[in-house]
Amino acid sequence: MTFKGSCHCGRVAFEVDGEPTSVLACNCSMCSRKGSLLWFVPRDKLRLLTPDENASTYLFNKHVIRHRFCAVCGIHPYGEGRDPAGNAMAAINIRCLEGLDLSTIPVQHFDGRSH
């Protein structure tokens, strides 16, 4: 299945392939402030519909995750990083996807504050 997603103003838009069977809610200092629900997919499943430079990047802590956000409306639709095996991954904020019933997707809680 292909989902479309974007920031609020549409300056950062994308498509992602797959089916979110569960998502992660992290309590680290960044995620707890954003309130995102993250669905992890291989990076090649994420296709940008707008130029990459439309998304600003924020790095913090170990600088291994590129938190991508819209500098116009401030929404964080996805992040980019690598899994433990070194594979390129994307963390999709499912709150930015169209036509998805969030109440049907189980949420796993991750203690990012302690890691």
In the chain, domain spans: 2-114
pLDDT at 25: 94
Pairing verdict, β 78-82 and 55-58: unpaired
pLDDT at 31: 86
pLDDT at 62: 77
Strand 23-26: give its sheet, edge to edge. 55-58, 66-70, 78-82, 88-93, 38-42, 23-26, 107-110
**What Å distances lie between residue 115 and 32, 47, 65, 101, CA to CA?**
14, 30, 14, 30
Two tokens, residue 73: 């409306």
pLDDT tens by residue, 81-115: 999 999 999 999 999 999 999 999 999 998 888 87
pLDDT tens by residue, 28-69: 888 889 899 999 999 999 999 999 999 999 998 777 889 999
Q: Where are the beta strands (DSSP E) in the chain?
A: 2-6, 13-17, 23-26, 38-42, 46-48, 55-58, 66-70, 78-82, 88-93, 107-110
For 97, which DSSP code? Answer: B
**Helices and strands, counts by H and E, the chain:** 1, 10
pLDDT at 90: 98
pTM of the model: 0.92
Q: For domain 2-114, which architecture applies?
A: Beta Complex (2.170)
